[in-house]
């Protein structure tokens, strides 16, 4: 059953080919047997999962089941889960048991989903490799000496290694799309505000967006159907109607206009990645799409703008972790200042400390106008580039990452090189647009991701475009050796 997609598992449950308890127990057994190789989970919820599965079977028996009833999933460990540790991959929250569920978690619970556990991640979602986790790095199933990407690396690994049929992730600068590309799975970052952020521990509030990580676009549509929608508990959540994402998957692509940004095919792109992306574009032409070159001239400014704005927001958001109210507290503080300094110094890892310092500096008196205000102006220019481009084309395509998965430790001492791995994904978060990554090829046995970008609240179009490609190709069906 580990070869079945989420949609196929749903059909199996409805036809009583297996029960939710049987399905859940199979995944739990596999996690305990295999995850020592990958370190994709921080917490495994055996008892709760089996209890939820039994309740789901009862609903199915009574004829009261929905499409998602009884399906097991896992959540990235920054979504609050009542009674279960929510660590954000950090020492400072290693002892934090949330007293409530995030809205996203509540919606899956209400839909009858089963929570297998909480997945590993870069500390507070700050990273591109899941090497920054207090609980150790996750390992890419395609080559366990390589990173899975980040910050949702544990979620991507769990799906790729068949340790969960689907997972939730969050994307602040590419943290769903980049690990999806490096692990050979499907991931979508919805429009900012499409999914509630209530109960999602914040990194950078104007960038963070939750989304699904799955094997197929069809599965992603199922997940997003549950996740999306207005939430009175989140003032930034858009009050927009939620379409039927599954209904439009089979719309033909005749007449689809695809834009290829020339800036996405610059010197920093690995030629092998470029070749696989171009092959995918040719496949879309066979499906009836037309292609034209476009320009996003301010793309090169996305990394410097992002690494001013996001750390500035992180500096504010993470000020609450002070060793006083909850979370890690240093031993035997001399006074209040010592309590603050040592609790934060011992509780936060080096990358989180680096970004807090950068953000605090950018917001400080005398530097706010020179850095923060200027970065906000650049953010508006980047957004306008996309608005202009999407008046000419229906979707924009290009590589998700400039390189395939790199080796663990390869970029650990070079933060700028690490940041450059997000060169093609960051600009979407600055603009608040939806984007997704789907497998489109391989290079040297490692997956390559195709990024598809759409207009605001055009997730249904992205899912349709991705699904049609997956009907015509089998890259999304490729499995790492030994899985």
Active site residues: 76, 151, 175
Residues 6+ apart with CB under 8 A from 207: 172, 173, 192, 306, 309, 310, 313, 429, 430
In what helix (H) or strand (E) does residue 7 lie, and over which residues does it extend? helix 6-14
The residue behind tokens 């090189």 is 417
Alpha helices, DSSP H only, in 287-392?
A: 302-317, 336-347, 350-363, 374-389
The residue behind tokens 């927009």 is 240
Contact 398, 265 (CB under 8 A): yes
Distance CA 103, CA 228 (A): 10
Q: How many other C-beta atoms can be found within 10 angstroms of the C-beta atom of residue 23? A: 25
Note the residue count of the chain. Answer: 483
Give the CA distances from residue 470 to residues 20, 216, 222, 403, 475, in Å, rounded to whole numbers and listed in that order: 27, 8, 16, 22, 8
The helix/strand/coil state of 146 is strand
Residues 6+ apart with CB under 8 A from 468: 249, 250, 251, 252, 253, 287
């Amino acid at each position: 059953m580990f070869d079945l997609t989420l949609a196929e598992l749903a059909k199996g449950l409805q036809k009583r080919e297996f029960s939710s308890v049987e399905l859940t127990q199979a995944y739990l057994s596999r996690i305990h047997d295999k995850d020592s190789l990958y370190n994709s989970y921080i917490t495994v919820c055996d008892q709760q999962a089996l209890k939820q599965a039994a309740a789901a079977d009862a609903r199915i028996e009574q004829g009261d089941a929905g499409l998602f009833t009884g399906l097991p999933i896992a959540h990235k460990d920054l979504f609050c889960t009542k009674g279960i540790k929510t660590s954000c991959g950090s020492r400072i929250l290693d002892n934090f048991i949330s007293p409530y569920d995030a809205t996203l978690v509540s919606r899956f619970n209400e839909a009858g989903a089963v929570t297998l556990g909480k997945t590993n991640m870069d500390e507070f979602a700050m990273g591109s490799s899941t090497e920054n986790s207090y609980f150790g790095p996750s390992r890419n199933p395609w080559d366990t000496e390589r990173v899975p990407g980040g910050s949702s690396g544990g979620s991507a690994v769990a799906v790729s290694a068949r340790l969960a049929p689907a997972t939730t992730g969050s994307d602040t600068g590419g943290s769903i799309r980049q690990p999806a590309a490096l692990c050979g799975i499907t991931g979508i970052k919805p429009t900012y505000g499409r999914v509630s952020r209530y109960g999602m521990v914040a990194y950078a509030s104007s960038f963070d967006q939750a989304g699904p990580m799955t094997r197929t676009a069809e599965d992603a549509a199922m997940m997003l159907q549950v996740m999306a929608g207005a939430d009175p508990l989140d003032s930034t959540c858009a009050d927009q109607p939620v379409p039927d994402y599954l209904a439009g998957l089979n719309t033909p692509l005749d007449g689809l206009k695809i834009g290829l940004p020339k800036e996405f095919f610059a010197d920093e792109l690995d030629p092998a990645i470029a070749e696989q992306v171009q092959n995918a574009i040719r496949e879309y032409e066979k499906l009836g799409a037309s292609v034209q070159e476009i320009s996003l001239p301010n793309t090169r400014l996305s990394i410097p703008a992002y690494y001013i704005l996001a750390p500035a927001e992180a500096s504010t958001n993470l000020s609450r972790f002070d060793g006083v109210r909850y979370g890690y507290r240093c031993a035997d503080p001399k006074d209040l200042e010592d309590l603050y300094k040592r609790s934060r110094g011992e509780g936060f890892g080096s990358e989180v400390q680096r970004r807090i310092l950068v953000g605090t500096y950018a917001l400080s008196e005398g530097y706010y106008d020179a850095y923060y205000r200027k970065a906000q102006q650049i953010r508006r220019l980047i957004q306008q580039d996309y608005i202009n481009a999407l008046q000419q084309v229906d979707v924009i395509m290009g590589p998700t990452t400039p390189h395939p998965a790199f080796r663990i430790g390869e970029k650990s001492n070079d933060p700028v090189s690490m940041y450059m791995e997000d060169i093609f994904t960051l600009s979407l978060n600055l603009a608040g647009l939806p984007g997704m990554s789907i497998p489109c090829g391989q290079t040297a046995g490692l997956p390559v991701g195709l990024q598809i970008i759409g207009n605001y609240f055009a997730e249904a179009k992205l899912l349709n475009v991705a699904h049609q490609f997956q009907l015509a190709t089998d890259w999304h069906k490729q499995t790492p050796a030994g899985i």
